[in-house]
Amino acid sequence: MGERKVLNKYIPPDFDPAKIPRGRAPKGGQIKVRIMLPMTICCNTCGEFICKGTKFNARKEDVKGEDYLGIQIFRFYFRCTRCSAELAMKTDPKNGDYVVEAGASRNFEAWKDTTEEDEAKARADDEENNEMRRLENRTEESKREMDIMAALDEMRSLNARHAGISNADALNAMTANTRTDKER
């Protein structure tokens, strides 16, 4: 029990740290990791649907020659749960997502298909056909602009109030107050 509290260990005089074997680097730069599938995919070999959240033992490697704004891209290899075919996916930091590379296909996700341009176009079409919707949107925009202008005016008045007082003025006012206190 006493050995566990010892901070200093005995090192013999003939000890050579160069003779200690070093750990091997992983083969092919791949390491084993435990991952959870970030999306639902379908195996191309057997047609098995593998759901989002399924855990796998995978091999992870750095993608050579690819990065996005200095962010390293990783590739993961794992096997299908039904037919043991090898599947591969890699990270996509540009979109904050993953890309299925080989052995499987990603399921269609309708919420990812809509873009901001499509939403703006749908809103414009809706306004064209509906006069009340156009009026509501116009009043919401004017209210938002008025709120922004009120906040800007408030910030300007606060800045003007604070800009009028300098550090020297504040010190002079404090010394004048102490003088009047002493005179009393």
Name 92's Cβ contacts closer than 8 Å, sequence gap at least 6.
73, 98, 99
Query: Cα dihedral sign for 123, 128, 129, 131?
Result: positive
Give the model's confidence band at 14: pLDDT under 50 very low, under 70 low, under 90 confident, else very high: very high
Closest CA to 41 of 76, 71, 74: 76
Q: What is the pLDDT of residues 120-158, one digit of tens each?
A: 788 788 778 888 888 888 899 999 999 999 999 999 988
Provide mean pLDDT across the span 38-63. 91
pLDDT at 173: 82
Check pLDDT > 90 for residue 75.
Answer: yes
Provide mean pLDDT across the span 72-96. 91
Between CA 77 and CA 104 the distance in angstroms is 12
The pair phi, psi for residue 81, each rounded to 5°, is: -75, -20
> What are the beta bridge partners of residue 102?
88
Between CA 109 and CA 159 the distance in angstroms is 49
Q: 80: buried, middle or exposed (CB in 10 Å: 19+, 13-18, 0-12)?
A: buried
